[in-house]
């Protein structure tokens, strides 16, 4: 150290050893004498004040002040030396105390804080970017799924239209047009109508504007439709083929029922036609239920595949989001007033949360500076606070 520690210098030790006992003893005597004289005077004053006692008290207070100065002069060299010693010790401690502004550890800590803040901001930026990418990816997956659902809905609607056409032909069969309807059913085209694709448009809701270019969305729609059509043509043909074969099998029995109805009485013929209608409706419901069950199974398989892809995305996200090195940090919010108007708001929050529950004494100590200022306004400018919660009392001091 540049300055030798005061306590280790021989002359200072000699001063402490020689002067401290004498100064202490002399100050003790002065202290006790002053106290004794003061107690005696105070006892007389408490019996009743007089002009003479007031003058004697003023003289005593002046002597007490002089005694204090003399005692201070006697102990000053010693206490100054002790102050130097304390200052030296605390100075050494402060030089390596990380909480003391200007110390080397403090400056090192500040560099660490800046580095930690930079690393944290980089990590937050990385997470935000990763989240943005994942949002885009998930939006793309959802749009593809919505397109798939919408195309399937429209294509199955077309399948329903053709199945309904077959069933209408069967329902329209009479003895007079039996041959024609049988021919219509036999020649009914069960292949998917390719011209329908020219009019097919996706009604799936678009992702947020600006997330994907229109060309990319068109590519998603094209890929969705192409993937569905790889299997739907066969599905379309298979479902119509089953429906067609089933109706063809029913045609002979329907002809027999129509012939029986034609030979029967009007009442019997109506009963036969009603039974035929009920059987046909029941059979159509059965066929439709089987078809819906097959579609439900296909949707379940498609949903399962989508969920598996989503799980794969989650694992990909976890691997990409693995954090880099981050210093251990403690992140706390630090209030920074931007202007003077911030302080009433700060005070309001503090008052509602804590201040209103404190005692008058605690608040008086806490706001001593503000109270002193208000007293100065009253004594110097005659400005008083008008409030039922405040009163001003006269403080009288003898000079």
Span 90-136, pLDDT tens digits: 888 898 988 889 899 999 989 999 999 999 999 999 999 999 999 99
Higher-pLDDT residue of 368 and 278 is 368
Higher-pLDDT residue of 316 and 122 is 122
Confidence of residue 1 (pLDDT cuts 50, 70, 90): very low
pLDDT tens digit sequence for 198-233: 999 999 999 998 899 999 999 999 999 999 999 999
Mean pLDDT on 316-324: 53
Distance, in Å, from the CA atom of 305 to the CA atom of 372, rounded to the nearest integer, reads 77
pLDDT at 13 over 70: no
pLDDT at 3 over 60: no
Q: Mean pLDDT in the chain? A: 85
Does residue 345 belong to any structural domain of this protein?
no
* Residue 60 lies in domain: 6-95
| Same domain? 201 vs 52 | no
Does residue 326 belong to any structural domain of this protein?
no
R_g of the chain, CA atoms, integer Å: 51
Which of 54, 79, 95 represents a domain boundary (last residue)? 95
| Same domain? 250 vs 162 | yes
Note the pLDDT of residue 92.
87
Burial label, 247 (beta-carbon count in 10 A; 0-12, 13-18, 19+): buried
Highest mean pLDDT of the ranges 289-298, 310-319, 386-395: 386-395
Which of 95, 114, 148 represents a domain boundary (last residue)? 95
| Same domain? 74 vs 155 | no
| Same domain? 88 vs 38 | yes
| Same domain? 166 vs 315 | yes
Mean pLDDT on 309-332: 62
| Same domain? 183 vs 311 | yes
Does residue 328 belong to any structural domain of this protein?
no
Distance, in Å, from the CA atom of 296 to the CA atom of 290, rounded to the nearest integer, reads 10
| Same domain? 89 vs 178 | no
How much of the chain exceeds pLDDT 70, in percent?
Answer: 87
Mean pLDDT on 160-185: 92
Note the pLDDT of residue 7.
55
Residues near 95 by beta carbon (within 8 Å), at least 6 away in sequence: 103, 104
**130-143: buried (b, 16+ CB within 10 Å) or exposed (e) per residue?**
eeeebeeeeebeeb
Does residue 295 belong to any structural domain of this protein?
yes
| Same domain? 179 vs 309 | yes
pLDDT at 12 over 70: no
> How many structural domains comprise the chain?
3
Note the pLDDT of residue 82.
78
């Amino acid at each position: 150290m540049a300055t030798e520690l005061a306590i280790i210098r021989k002359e200072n030790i000699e001063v402490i050893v020689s002067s401290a006992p004498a100064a202490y003893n002399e100050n003790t005597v002065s202290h006790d004498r002053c106290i004794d004289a003061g107690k005696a005077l105070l006892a007389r004053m408490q019996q009743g004040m007089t002009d003479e006692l007031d003058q004697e008290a003023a003289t005593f207070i002046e002597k007490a002040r002089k005694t204090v100065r003399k005692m201070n002069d006697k102990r000053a060299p010693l206490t100054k030396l002790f102050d130097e010693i304390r200052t030296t010790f605390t100075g050494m401690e402060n030089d390596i105390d990380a909480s003391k502004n200007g110390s080397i550890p403090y400056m090192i800590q500040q560099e660490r804080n800046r580095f930690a803040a930079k690393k944290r901001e980089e990590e937050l930026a990385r997470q935000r970017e990763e989240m943005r990418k994942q949002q885009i990816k998930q939006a793309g997956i959802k749009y593809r799924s919505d397109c798939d659902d919408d195309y399937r809905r429209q294509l199955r609607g077309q399948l329903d239209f053709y199945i309904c056409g077959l069933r209408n032909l069967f329902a329209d069969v009479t003895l007079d047009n039996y041959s024609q309807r049988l021919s219509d059913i036999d020649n009914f085209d069960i292949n998917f109508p390719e011209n329908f694709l020219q009019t097919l448009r996706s009604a799936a809701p678009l992702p947020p504007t600006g997330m994907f270019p229109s060309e990319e969305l068109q590519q998603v729609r094209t890929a969705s439709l192409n993937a569905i059509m790889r299997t739907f043509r066969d599905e379309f043909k298979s479902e119509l083929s089953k429906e067609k074969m089933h109706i063809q099998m029913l045609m002979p029995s329907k002809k027999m029922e129509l012939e029986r109805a034609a030979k029967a009485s009007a009442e019997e013929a109506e009963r036969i036609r009603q039974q035929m209608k009920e059987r046909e409706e029941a059979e159509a419901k059965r066929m439709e239920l089987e078809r819906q069950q097959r579609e439900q199974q296909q949707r379940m398989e498609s949903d399962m595949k989508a969920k598996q892809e989503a799980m794969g995305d989650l694992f990909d996200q976890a691997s990409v989001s693995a954090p880099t090195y981050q210093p251990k940090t403690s992140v706390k919010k630090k209030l920074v007033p931007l202007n003077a108007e911030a302080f009433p708001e700060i005070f309001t929050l503090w008052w509602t949360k804590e201040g209103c529950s404190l005692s008058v004494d605690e608040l008086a100590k806490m706001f001593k500076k503000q109270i002193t200022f208000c007293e100065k306004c009253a004594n110097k400018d005659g400005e008083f606070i008008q409030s039922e919660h405040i009163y001003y009392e006269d403080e009288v001091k003898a000079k």
